[in-house]
Amino acid sequence: MSMQYFGSCPAGEVHELTISNGRGLEAKVLSLGATLRSLLVTDESGRRRDVVLGYDSAEEYFFGEAYFGATVGRFCNRIAAPGFELDGKCFVLPPNEGKNQLHGGPFGFSRQIWTPLPAGEDRAVFRLISPDGDMGFPGNLMVQVTYRLTEESLVIEYEAETDAPTVLNLTNHSYFNLSGHESGSVGGHRLKLTADFFTPTDEQMIPTGEIRPVSGSVLDLRTEKTVGELISAPELKTTQGLDHNFVLSGSDAVPAAWLKAPDGTLSAEVYTDRPAIQVYTAGFLGNVPGKNGAVYADHQGICLETQGFPDAVHHPNFPSPVLRAGEVWRSRTEYRFRGASRVRRRKAVMIRI
Ligand code: GLA
């Protein structure tokens, strides 16, 4: 792991850590928001590409609205106004999307400076102490995020502890483009999800509380579809494609999501122990200046945000987001990258056996 100064922003000085698996997988991660800024993946033809969207400066990360690559918390996705009640106490949350709170509030974890901890070549570890009352949430919270590279995966592990009852929902908000971050729309990518249900929302994107089967709808992604089909689906017009929370029906041994590049040279499988995944096809990016002079248009990336259910604080039928003193909150998500020919070769070996 090597570390260098990246820049400064109103949150403070930002450093960038570079980690590598020594075989072509390399990631750059910022102390601001414990943010994944780049992820270099080598396909089977030897072509190296950066498969996540990002910015070039600390200010853009701090002021930007896209949450590129960020660790989002304390509570990713939405909590309906004015806040929530826990053990008979009311907690009012500062809003940042209309009257509701999105992605942990105006200065959530993605806009705070995390402390890098000593770690090996293949990993970066960050710690954040979030004080009682931070963005309205109770309890002093210690949270740690580890980015680790294995032979073909990026693994993100989370750990958190509190000294008083609180709620927690962490995710990583990377926008993937398996053709490379600078290469236009992800419309030609193919997507498959292990999800039998989704959580419908109202016009403010707040879950209604219903857990509805995907079968018979455009959201049935149990057989793969192109992202382009979803972007142009009339039923998904208000969200300009997907911005939906899917309930995962597999286990952490089955990919929650598969994404394939249009030319078939690279695929990503997402494994997680979280109960849900928000899939966002970036319908509202709107020509954001990105890394190395790239300009990101709508639909130039896809977010595969593994998480608990949005607004779970208001829906007793959703998995509980409560964390209590003495408990350790742990979670793991793995993004496994494969060149298509490697997948074919494995199948061939299996057939010979
Ligand atoms: C999430 C939300 C989207 C949008 C993006 C960030 O995916 O669900 O509505 O807020 O984050 O721009």
Ligand 1 site, residue 67, Cβ cutoff 6 A = yes
In three-state secondary structure terms, 111 is helix
Query: What does each C-alpha distance from 78 to 73, 75, 90, 104, 298 come to in angstroms?
Result: 11, 7, 17, 8, 22
Beta bridge partners of 216: none
Q: Is residue 112 part of a domain?
A: yes
Q: Is residue 347 part of a domain?
A: no
Residue 47 has pLDDT above 60, yes or no: yes
Counting Cα atoms < 13 Å in the Cβ hemisphere of 18 gives: 10
Query: What does each C-alpha distance from 74 to 26, 130, 151, 168, 317 come to in angstroms?
Result: 27, 9, 31, 5, 21
Q: Is residue 242 part of a domain?
A: yes
**Amino acid at site 228:** G
Q: How many Å lie between the centroid of ligand 1 and the Cα of residue 243?
A: 7
Q: How many Å lie between the centroid of ligand 1 and the Cα of residue 13?
A: 26
Q: How many Å lie between the centroid of ligand 1 and the Cα of residue 259?
A: 19
Question: What residues act catalytically?
Answer: 173, 305
Q: Is residue 351 part of a domain?
A: no
Q: What percent of the chain has pLDDT over 90?
A: 92
Mutate to test the pocket of ligand 1, among 103, 174, 244, 278 (most ligand atoms within 8 A of CB): 103
In three-state secondary structure terms, 255 is coil
Ligand 1 site, residue 65, Cβ cutoff 6 A = yes
Ligand 1 site, residue 235, Cβ cutoff 6 A = no
Q: Is residue 353 part of a domain?
A: no
Q: What is the pLDDT of residue 28?
A: 98
Structurally, the chain folds into a number of domains equal to: 1
Q: What is the pLDDT of residue 252?
A: 86
Q: How many Å lie between the centroid of ligand 1 and the Cα of residue 73?
A: 13
Q: What is the pLDDT of residue 291?
A: 98
Ligand 1 site, residue 311, Cβ cutoff 6 A = no
Query: What does each C-alpha distance from 296 to 36, 95, 103, 289, 300 come to in angstroms?
Result: 17, 27, 21, 6, 6
**Which range marks the domain in which residue 282 is found?**
2-342
Ligand 1 site, residue 66, Cβ cutoff 6 A = yes
Q: Is residue 218 part of a domain?
A: yes
Ligand 1 site, residue 303, Cβ cutoff 6 A = yes
Q: Is residue 290 part of a domain?
A: yes
Question: pLDDT by residue (tens digit) across 78-97?
Answer: 999 999 999 999 999 999 99
Q: What is the pLDDT of residue 343?
A: 44
Q: Which atom of ligand 1 is nearest to the CA of 243?
A: 8
Q: How many Å lie between the centroid of ligand 1 and the Cα of residue 88?
A: 30
Ligand 1 site, residue 279, Cβ cutoff 6 A = no
* CATH number of the domain residue 228 falls in: 2.70.98.10
Residue 123 has pLDDT above 60, yes or no: yes
Lowest mean pLDDT among 104-118, 205-219, 246-260, 335-349: 335-349
Q: What is the pLDDT of residue 1?
A: 83
Structure tokens that stand for 290 in this block: 């990105």
> Are 93 and 83 spatial neighbours (Cβ–Cβ below 8 Å)?
yes
Question: pLDDT by residue (tens digit) across 155-173?
Answer: 999 999 999 999 999 999 9
Mutate to test the pocket of ligand 1, among 97, 280, 281, 285 (most ligand atoms within 8 A of CB): 280
Q: Is residue 19 part of a domain?
A: yes
> Are 4 and 16 spatial neighbours (Cβ–Cβ below 8 Å)?
yes
